[in-house]
A and B are shown apart, each in its own frame.
Chain A
Amino acid sequence: MQTLIQFTIDVLSLGGAYALMALGLVIVYGILKLVNFAYGELIMVTGYGLFLVNGSGLPWIVMAAIAVCIAIATGIATDYVAFRPVRSKSVTAVLITSFAFSTILQNAALLFISPRPRNVPLPDFFSQTVEFAGVIVPARNLITIVASILLLVVFAWAMKKTVLGIAMRAAATQFRMARMLGVPANLIISSAFAISGFFAGVVALLWIGRIGSVTPGIGMEPLLVAFIATVIGGMRSLQGAVLGGFLLAFVNTGLNYTLPQQLLEFRDAFTFTLVILILLWRPDGLIRGPATGQRT
């Protein structure tokens, strides 16, 4: 029973973070049909944002807010630097510029900050533990669960009830038609990148909360998680991203609990095998989403 509670908390906290990562990637993909390789670097800049404001004497929550704002700004900047110039060109061109932009950000961090890890400020409650139903769990896992569920609910509400949210869902299937109704293309695209940056920023706080420091390569694992989660969930569907995130967390945690130590190092390989199996069964992912899709 205790193991079950422990397992559930692990899955939910990991899954919440994974779902947010996947959503941040898929919100941009859904509208522009482009895979943002620089998504992991949004997590990196949040970390370095925290590192740079460290010692400013501000309350942690303010520092965290600044760091998240940096991620949002970088997200929007990604659009202007890497995507807008080549948006009308081929899908491959856009993929390459996003990969190149990711490299620029990472190497800029190497060049101007350091290849070595930098410590970031974290509030005390991140390292505390709580007893919950007879199980001792890290407080940050509970924070992650609460924060991610809250964000998912708010996001679902906004996409359903606000005009901008509805317009974004519309643009994901019929971009040109949305424009012919007066929805400004640039507003939709910038909003998508801003939301992407926001999710990346929040995820970064939760993610770096586990590690306590930031390196230029820190975005790699979240990026991969977001990739795999969106592919198994279905690239065209927001619900798919969330489902994929939780499913991946379930599989990873399940492997963590069951695999012997020497095989645990190969966990990613096992996960990937599972992805292949899912794709054999459903090449479009679990949730197919709308069939149509056009770029601007």
Chain B
Amino acid sequence: MRKGNLLTFLILLGLVALLVLVPQLIGVRVVERIATALAISLVLVVGLQTFTGNSGILSFAHIGFMGIGAYVSAVLTIPVQMRGMALPDLYGVVKTLEVSPYLGMLIGGLAAALVAAVVSYPLMRLSDAPAVITSFALLVVLYTILNHWSAVTNGPRTLFGLPNATGLPLAGGVAAIVIMVALVFKESRIGMLLRASRDDERAAAALGASIPVLRWRAFILSALIAGVGGALWGHFVTSFSPKAFYLKETFVILGMLVIGGMNTVTGAVVGTFAVTLAFEGLRAFETSLNASGMFSEQVVGITEIVLALAMIGMMFLRPGGMFASTEIGPLLARRFTRTKS
């Protein structure tokens, strides 16, 4: 890792450490749950950044791979006697195989990466609009499968019984690892070539790089992280339905990424923090509105509208997001040397 990025990593690591430590000092359960959810969001958003940030192609399919990770881990870790009730039609050996949640998370990530490797290769030849559209279609297809493959996912109904294995330290630890992976990947040969291709496809091709292959590798890495993130989340909430892996979630993580700045890992991290904190405030507001009984029906959707407006505003004022091109480390280093001279 270059020196500037070592500083970046240390700063981001510090943020994650604060995220893990502060709630434990406060000792309020709600705060700890919010912090855990935030750490999981970090995994997902930074994972998305590894593909989108380097290749410059928005991917809408990310949450679908999160779903794969969550369901694969669920199927392998729900205690066997409960599994018989929840998923009576499960196939052969999986019916009786029970692994630890940690192994489940790993397998969940690998499964997501495998699916990504198989389905995404032809899509990586596309650029611009067709690439985005097909990734969106891929999300819909993954959702359709989760929603209808009753034997494995319990269909559209909620799947219960995942062991509660994700605590704040684990989620924070995984987030820190993912941030490091993203920074290293960005500086790796693949990452550099990809970023070159983002600016000029022909120039990167002239360097002898096969852009579809580079994108494909980044996409698999990103799906792997999404799968692990999904499994982490599954073992955090312990019950979920396919609805959790669809447009609403996609919108939220995209919002975090573009508000922070999709070209930098710092942007992904800061965006996740900013949006999560704003969301919690708004959600509290929505809840109090509903509790006040001012409206006959439930008030829903305010948080999404505010996030959408924030995204449009950010695109208008600073299309690159808060950290558009430079990571926090080099940014600080540059400022420091400038004041010194």
A231 sits at the interface (CB 8 A): yes
Q: Which of A3-11, A93-101, A160-168, A177-185 contacts B (4 or more CB under 8 A)?
A: A93-101
User: Is A276 touching B58 in the complex (CB atoms < 8 A)?
Assistant: no
Q: List 9 A-B contacts (CB under 8 A).
A: A89-B316, A92-B56, A97-B316, A100-B312, A103-B305, A107-B305, A265-B144, A275-B134, A283-B122
**How many interface contacts (CB-CB < 8 Å) are there between A and B?**
132
With a cutoff of 8 Å between Cβ atoms, the chain A residues found around residue B312 in the complex are 81-82, 85-86, 97, 100-101
With a cutoff of 8 Å between Cβ atoms, the chain B residues found around residue A279 in the complex are 122-123, 125-126, 130, 134
- Whole-angstrom distance between the Cβ of A43 and the nearest chain B Cβ: 16
Given contacts A108-B305, A268-B140, A279-B126, contact A95 B251 (CB under 8 A): no
Interfacial residues, chain B to chain A (CB-CB below 8 A): 56, 58, 119, 122-123, 125-126, 128-130, 132-134, 136-138, 140-141, 144-145, 148-149, 247, 251, 254-255, 258, 262, 297, 299-302, 304-305, 307-309, 311-312, 315-316, 319
Q: Which residue of B lies closest to A266 (CB)?
A: B148
User: Is A231 touching B130 in the complex (CB atoms < 8 A)?
Assistant: yes
With a cutoff of 8 Å between Cβ atoms, the chain A residues found around residue B138 in the complex are 272
Given contacts A35-B129, A35-B133, contact A100 B308 (CB under 8 A): yes
With a cutoff of 8 Å between Cβ atoms, the chain B residues found around residue A228 in the complex are 133, 137
A178 to B278 alpha-carbon distance, docked (Å): 45
Besides the known contacts A100-B315, A103-B307, A268-B144, 11 further A-B residue pairs in the complex with CB atoms under 8 A apart: A91-B128, A93-B315, A107-B300, A107-B301, A110-B300, A111-B301, A220-B247, A224-B137, A266-B148, A269-B144, A284-B130
Interface flags, A33-76, vs B, CB<8A=1, else 0: 11100000000000000000000000000000000000000000
Which 4 pairs, one residue from A and one from B, show the smallest C-beta to C-beta distance?
A107-B301, A100-B308, A265-B148, A110-B301
Interfacial residues, chain A to chain B (CB-CB below 8 A): 29, 33-35, 81-82, 85-86, 89-97, 99-101, 103-104, 106-108, 110-111, 114-115, 220, 224, 227-228, 230-231, 235, 265-266, 268-269, 272, 275-276, 279-280, 283-285
Q: Which residue of B lies closest to A82 (CB)?
A: B312
A283 to B121 alpha-carbon distance, docked (Å): 12
- Which of A29, A89, A104: most chain B CB closer than 10 A? A104
Q: Which residue of B lies closest to A115 (CB)?
A: B300
User: Is A107 touching B129 in the complex (CB atoms < 8 A)?
Assistant: no
Q: Which residue of A lies closest to B301 (CB)?
A: A107
A272 to B120 alpha-carbon distance, docked (Å): 12
User: Is B119 touching A95 in the complex (CB atoms < 8 A)?
Assistant: no
Given contacts A101-B312, A107-B308, A268-B144, contact A96 B122 (CB under 8 A): no
With a cutoff of 8 Å between Cβ atoms, the chain B residues found around residue A114 in the complex are 297
- Name A227's contact: one of B137, B144, B300 (CB within 8 Å): B137
With a cutoff of 8 Å between Cβ atoms, the chain B residues found around residue A81 in the complex are 312
With a cutoff of 8 Å between Cβ atoms, the chain A residues found around residue B119 in the complex are 276
Q: Which residue of B lies closest to A103 (CB)?
A: B308
With a cutoff of 8 Å between Cβ atoms, the chain B residues found around residue A266 in the complex are 144-145, 148-149
Q: Which residue of B lies closest to A284 (CB)?
A: B130
Given contacts A95-B58, A96-B58, A283-B125, contact A269 B145 (CB under 8 A): yes
A271 to B262 alpha-carbon distance, docked (Å): 31
- Name B305's contact: one of A35, A94, A111 (CB within 8 Å): A111
Q: Which residue of A lies closest to B120 (CB)?
A: A276
A88 to B299 alpha-carbon distance, docked (Å): 36
- Which of B122, B123, B130, B262: most chain A CB closer than 10 A? B130
